[in-house]
Chain A
Amino acid sequence: MVPVANYLILSAVLFTIGVLGVLIRRNAIVIFMSIEIMLNAANLAFIALADAKGSLAGQVFVFFVLAVAAAEVAVGLAIIVAISRQQGTIDVDEINLLKW
């Protein structure tokens, strides 16, 4: 039996990797993948904690998060595809018509 703390540490590490990925990487798709890692880190925490608390609510939450993440992929990739077609790049440093 793996203790809950280990899962939580893993999920914290994954979340940090995701945050750093968003901040450091410049390719829109890679940034997006990092965001997905963050969401999945939260999912892992939910499942581990739901098990530890003996409450199903946390596991149900994960299903909703999965559905939302899928919708986010649909919208996000559509935006990125539109940009890549029109501007030929998805590097967020080169997409800078508006001042950051």
Chain B
Amino acid sequence: MPTTQELIAISPEIILALWALSVMFLDLLIAQSRKSILAYWSLLGLLLAGGAEFSLWGREEILFQGAFVQDNLSLFLDLVLLLATGLSLLMAKGYIKDLEMEHGEYYTLTLFATLGGMLMAGAGDLLIVFLGLEVLSLSLYVLSGFRRTEPMAQEASLKYFLLGAFASGFLLYGIALVFGSTGTTLLGGIAVAITEGGLLGDPLLLLGLGLLGVGLSFKVALVPFHMWTPDVYEGAPTPVAGYMSVVAKAAGFAAALRIFLSAFLQLAGDWTLLLSLLALLTMSGGNIIALAQSNMKRLLAYSSIAHAGYILLGVIALNSWGLSSVLFYLAAYGFMNLGAFAVIVALRDGEREYLALNDYAGLGSRHPLLALSMAIFMLSLAGVPPTAGFLAKFYIFGAAVQAGYGWLAILAVLNSVLAAFYYLRVIVIMYMREPAGQVAKMTHSPALALAIFLAVIGTVQLGLFPAAVVELAQASLFPFLGS
């Protein structure tokens, strides 16, 4: 039986799970014309769960015989996840109504997906990693095909599902082999077994770790496991694409941090080499293909791939600076990327979405505020000071240099220069190019405006006054590195 203390420590997850169920139940009672109540109800749930996270800050709880860990690392990541979910719900409210897919399940699935991500962030056992990943993925498969009569959405959903389930197979087989080598699935237990059993060179363990890595790489879309990303982002509803780009990535990196830090730290020599190769492929591949994109959603998809490569640098660096910069990067990335997606959501005329890059021509004079926000997000994604993206990149590259990966940091900087080209092109098109026909229309909605406003505030705030968040991020890693 769980003790009261355990139940209190895991209360954010419990609140979110109950809230998701309550949304499903309320959906039955609310008339179709008033479904947007559910959006506010879900946001309330997110706020409550976030409040519970705050009240738990500073505690380090190991729950259920080590299966779940509620420490600052999981709380920080949970807060990023909850914030991203909140922003995406604000974006989705009007969007799903206009596109005639306003069903209560949208909110239920979003909340469950976030719950899955939170489980991954606090996992102390490979079983919990697997279950969290599946809760997250299964919800996302459905969400990406939420416009179920739209052929593009169906295709996105099918591709995501088949490749996601394929990746889960690899992950699971990897877990089985790791279990076979160490005799446990507890992350802490694995580390102990590696030390005590002298398993450093055990082929079963290394193969298992490799397969685990492949499975996780699929989920966070590292090159060469990224093929699904642009297709799924393009076909999925825009708020879902934005949600996926942040939440699935943050959750995947959370699980990777947990697994690599708690269980396989002794094998660091083996996996850092492999990951640095993956990081190089991911940044370069993502950025080079992004140069050729003419669709905004595909552009952001490739840009999100490239960003995963930058984040990987912090994991490879494996010092306290690098790991806290991973957390900072995820927070900054959450604001700027969701903000960019929110602008795409805003640029819409009822059902018609303006997704081509050329549709953005003339935006600067026609919708100055929207264009300004987009410009801020693009500058931040490109890493121009004084935005959050600049500091995030600065910290992460600095950590890589400090850890002796100077060559990788130089290549990453060159990559950012390359990336600046396509981000700045969006700004150039918005401000300097005359529209060919009509200027894209904009949908006015208070919730959407709030989402963009919050994202702008977050992006600028983290760029100008990062100290508070950096301190939180560093406090999150205290138990692991103790510096």
What is the interface of chain A, defined by CB distance below 8 A to chain B?
Answer: 8, 11, 15, 18-19, 22, 28, 31-32, 35, 38-39, 41-42, 45-46, 49-50, 52-53, 55, 57-58, 60-61, 64-65, 68, 71-72, 75-76, 78-80, 82-83, 86-87, 92, 95-100
A49 touches B151 (CB 8 A): no
- Does B158 reach chain A (CB closer than 8 Å)? yes
Given contacts A79-B154, A82-B148, contact A32 B162 (CB under 8 A): yes
- State how many residues of chain B have any CB contact under 8 Å with chain A: 40
Given contacts A80-B158, A98-B156, A98-B231, contact A42 B173 (CB under 8 A): yes
Q: Inside 8 A of A22's CB, which chain B residues have their CB?
A: 162, 166
Residue from A50, A60, A75, A83 within 8 A of B142 (CB atoms): A75
* CA distance in complex: A68, B231 (Å): 25
Q: Inside 8 A of A31's CB, which chain B residues have their CB?
A: 162
Q: Inside 8 A of B183's CB, which chain A residues have their CB?
A: 53, 55
Q: Inside 8 A of A83's CB, which chain B residues have their CB?
A: 154-155, 158
* CA distance in complex: A100, B154 (Å): 14
A35 touches B154 (CB 8 A): no
- Does B235 reach chain A (CB closer than 8 Å)? yes
A64 touches B131 (CB 8 A): yes
A26 to chain B, nearest CB (A): 11
23 CB-based A-B contacts, threshold 8 Å? A15-B173, A28-B162, A32-B162, A35-B165, A35-B166, A38-B166, A38-B172, A39-B168, A39-B169, A41-B173, A42-B172, A46-B176, A55-B183, A57-B184, A58-B176, A58-B185, A61-B179, A65-B172, A68-B168, A72-B134, A97-B152, A98-B235, A100-B227
Given contacts A86-B151, A98-B235, contact A92 B162 (CB under 8 A): yes
Among B159, B165, B175, max chain A CB count under 10 A is at: B165
Interface residues of B in 152-202 (CB under 8 A from A): 152, 154-159, 161-162, 165-166, 168-170, 172-173, 175-177, 179-180, 183-185
Residue from A8, A57, A95 within 8 A of B185 (CB atoms): A57
Q: Inside 8 A of A46's CB, which chain B residues have their CB?
A: 176, 179
Given contacts A42-B173, A53-B183, A92-B162, contact A68 B130 (CB under 8 A): yes
Residue from A39, A60, A95 within 8 A of B155 (CB atoms): A95
Which residue of chain B has the shortest Cβ distance to A31 in the bound complex?
B162
Q: Inside 8 A of B235's CB, which chain A residues have their CB?
A: 97-98
A68 to chain B, nearest CB (A): 5
Q: Inside 8 A of B173's CB, which chain A residues have their CB?
A: 15, 38, 41-42, 45
What is the interface of chain B, defined by CB distance below 8 A to chain A?
Answer: 127, 130-131, 134, 138, 141-142, 145, 148-149, 151-152, 154-159, 161-162, 165-166, 168-170, 172-173, 175-177, 179-180, 183-185, 227, 230-231, 234-235
Which residue of chain B has the shortest Cβ distance to A76 in the bound complex?
B161
* CA distance in complex: A98, B72 (Å): 41
A45 touches B138 (CB 8 A): no
* CA distance in complex: A64, B133 (Å): 13
B403 to chain A, nearest CB (A): 34
Query: What are the 4 A-B residue pairs with the smallest beta carbon separation, nearest first?
Result: A38-B169, A49-B180, A98-B231, A45-B176
* CA distance in complex: A78, B230 (Å): 23
* CA distance in complex: A42, B134 (Å): 16
Mostly helix, strand, loop or mixed at chain B's interface?
helix
Given contacts A8-B180, A28-B158, A79-B142, 5 further A-B pairs with CB under 8 A are A22-B166, A39-B168, A49-B180, A53-B183, A79-B141
A99 touches B231 (CB 8 A): yes
A75 touches B141 (CB 8 A): yes
B34 to chain A, nearest CB (A): 27
B165 touches A32 (CB 8 A): yes
Given contacts A55-B183, A87-B154, contact A68 B131 (CB under 8 A): yes
Q: Inside 8 A of B161's CB, which chain A residues have their CB?
A: 75-76, 79
A91 to chain B, nearest CB (A): 11
Q: Inside 8 A of B157's CB, which chain A residues have their CB?
A: 79
Q: Inside 8 A of A11's CB, which chain B residues have their CB?
A: 176
Q: Inside 8 A of A41's CB, which chain B residues have their CB?
A: 173
A86 touches B149 (CB 8 A): yes
B179 touches A95 (CB 8 A): no
* CA distance in complex: A87, B145 (Å): 14
* CA distance in complex: A8, B138 (Å): 29
* CA distance in complex: A46, B165 (Å): 18
B152 touches A98 (CB 8 A): yes
B189 to chain A, nearest CB (A): 9
Among B141, B169, B227, B230, max chain A CB count under 10 A is at: B169
Q: Inside 8 A of B130's CB, which chain A residues have their CB?
A: 64-65, 68
Q: Inside 8 A of B175's CB, which chain A residues have their CB?
A: 42, 61
* CA distance in complex: A49, B231 (Å): 39
B162 touches A87 (CB 8 A): no
Q: Inside 8 A of A80's CB, which chain B residues have their CB?
A: 158
